[in-house]
Structures are given as structure tokens and as C-alpha cells.
């Protein structure tokens, strides 16, 4: 029996129940502190040691390290465990899909991960935990241990291109799936948002689960405005049996 391929595009809204604030909502980070945007803008980060020091403190104090997967993350992992072909394309950098039990190979992180660091000079990678340990020990802007270069998280900063391989795989999934669910995303940030249109154009059933209207609502077969923590698990139950 052929099983329905379900693709899920997740945005910040899926993680707010885990205690991680979104960026563009009414209480989002960019609205509360416009200066915070500089801390995740590549050119500012590379040019200004003070921006880097503040960025490391922001990473150290991030809600991500205390967050646990919520019912929505677990429902997606449960779909995979039920044998449904599922792929997650996420705009989030928190790693909660994987912590919920979803196979890492089923998750495409469009905007990278907050859980690792990379050297902007030599490309060496290591864990964020290790880097934050150095910050805690007194290094306010820890350099690369290999070459002395500037370290940053493996998240995609403003001013950086997305990983083209990850984007290409995401486009392929959007074209191939039968169901495309956009959950907790404003669908305003390109090119991630365009995946919803690509999926709809390819004949997928587009379902949007988001508190606020999105530019793609008119293309959707279904728009759900209810809280994600209850709406998504109920929605995914439909696809557990083929």
C-alpha cells in the first residue's frame, strides 16, 4: 500500500509552547528589541567584537537550552513512528524536532542549528555546548581553536545565503509530497515561504496552521487558526492510517 508523503514546514510558532519566543509576532523578539537584530546580522557580527560578545551572551541565555519538545513536535515524531513517510522542513534552529524523536535524516534545517558552531575562517565545526563552556570560563569572544578565526553558531544569519543543498532538497520534497502542512510560520520569509506555493502548484493538499493570516492562505485547501498544540496532533491523526 502506498502511504501518503506528508511534508511539514515548521516555523517559530510551533516552538512557542516550549517557551521559545517567536520573532515577528506581537511579542516577538524583533518588536521588543530592534537592536537584537544586529546580533544575528553577519556583517555587524564579523565587524564588531562588541556585537560578538553580546551575541555569545544571548546564546548563553537562550531559552533553547531549557526547552522541551511539546505536543506538536511529539505528534510529528509519532507520525513517523506510525510508518507514515514524513519530512520536516524547519525554519527553526532549536533542534526540538529531533529531541522529540524524529529521525535527524528526516529533518531539513533551512536556517541551520543553534546547537553547533562553525569557524568563519577554516570551517571547523564543534558543539555549541563546548563553546558556551569557554564563555562561562571567561572567554567573551572565543576564537577557533584550530586557526584563531571568528566562531559563530551554525544558524544562517541575516546577510548569509541558505545552504543550497538543503534548499534544493526542500524544493524536491515540496514537489513530491501529497500533503504539505505549513505550521507556525508567517510564510513571509523567502525562500522558505515559497515552498508552500511550490507544493500547491505541484498538486499537494496545502494546509496552513497559523494564528495570523499568511500570503498563501488563498492557495490552501484548509486554514486552521486554532492553537497549534491541539490542532496539529488532531490534524495528523488523519494520516496515521494511510
How far apart CA 179 and CA 206 sit, in angstroms, is 6
Q: Where are the beta strands (DSSP E) in the chain?
A: 6-10, 86-90, 107-109, 112-119, 125-127, 151-155, 179-183, 205-209, 222-224
Residue 79 and residue 4 in contact, taking contact as beta carbons nearer than 8 Å: no
Of 73, 97, 111, 241, the active-site residue reads 111
Residue 67 and residue 100 in contact, taking contact as beta carbons nearer than 8 Å: no
Q: Name the region of 123 (left: φ>0; alpha: ψ -120 to 50; beta: rest).
A: left
How far apart CA 142 and CA 134 sit, in angstroms, is 7
Helix (H, G, I), strand (E, B) or coil at 135: helix
Q: Which three cell numbers stand for residue 134?
A: 569557554
Element (H, E) at 10: strand 6-10
Q: Nearest to residue 141, comparing CAs of 151, 155, 154, 133?
A: 151
Point out which residues pair with 183 in neighbouring strands.
Answer: 10, 209
> Catalytic residue at 97?
no
Q: Nearest to residue 209, comparing CAs of 71, 78, 53, 110?
A: 71
- Whether the bond into 72 is cis, omega within 30 of 0: no
- Cite the active site residues: 111
Amino acid at each position: 500500500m502506498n502511504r501518503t508523503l506528508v511534508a511539514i514546514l515548521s516555523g517559530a510558532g510551533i516552538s512557542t509552547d516550549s517557551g521559545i519566543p517567536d520573532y515577528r509576532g506581537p511579542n516577538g523578539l524583533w518588536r521588543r528589541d530592534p537592536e537584537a537584530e544586529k546580533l544575528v546580522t553577519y556583517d555587524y557580527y564579523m565587524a564588531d567584537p562588541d556585537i560578538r560578545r553580546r551575541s555569545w551572551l544571548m546564546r548563553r541565555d537562550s531559552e533553547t537550552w531549557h526547552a522541551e519538545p511539546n505536543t506538536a513536535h511529539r505528534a510529528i515524531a509519532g507520525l513517523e513512528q506510525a510508518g507514515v513517510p514524513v519530512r520536516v522542513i524547519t525554519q527553526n534552529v532549536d533542534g526540538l524536532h529531533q529531541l522529540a524523536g524524529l529521525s535527524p535524516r528526516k529533518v531539513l534545517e533551512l536556517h541551520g542549528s543553534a546547537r553547533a558552531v562553525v569557524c568563519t575562517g577554516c570551517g571547523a565545526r564543534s558543539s555549541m555546548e563546548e563553546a558556551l563552556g569557554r564563555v562561562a570560563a571567561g572567554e567573551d569572544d572565543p576564537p577557533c581553536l584550530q586557526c584563531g578565526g571568528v566562531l559563530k553558531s551554525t544558524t544562517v544569519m541575516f546577510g548569509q545565503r541558505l545552504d543550497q543543498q538543503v534548499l534544493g532538497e526542500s524544493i524536491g520534497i515540496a514537489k513530491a509530497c501529497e500533503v504539505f502542512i505549513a505550521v507556525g510560520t508567517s510564510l513571509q520569509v523567502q525562500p522558505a515561504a515559497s515552498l508552500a506555493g511550490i507544493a500547491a502548484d505541484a498538486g499537494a493538499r496545502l494546509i496552513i496552521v497559523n494564528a495570523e493570516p499568511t500570503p498563501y492562505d488563498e492557495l490552501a485547501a484548509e486554514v486552521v487558526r486554532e492553537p497549534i498544540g491541539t490542532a496539529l496532533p488532531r490534524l495528523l491523526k488523519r494520516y496515521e492510517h494511510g
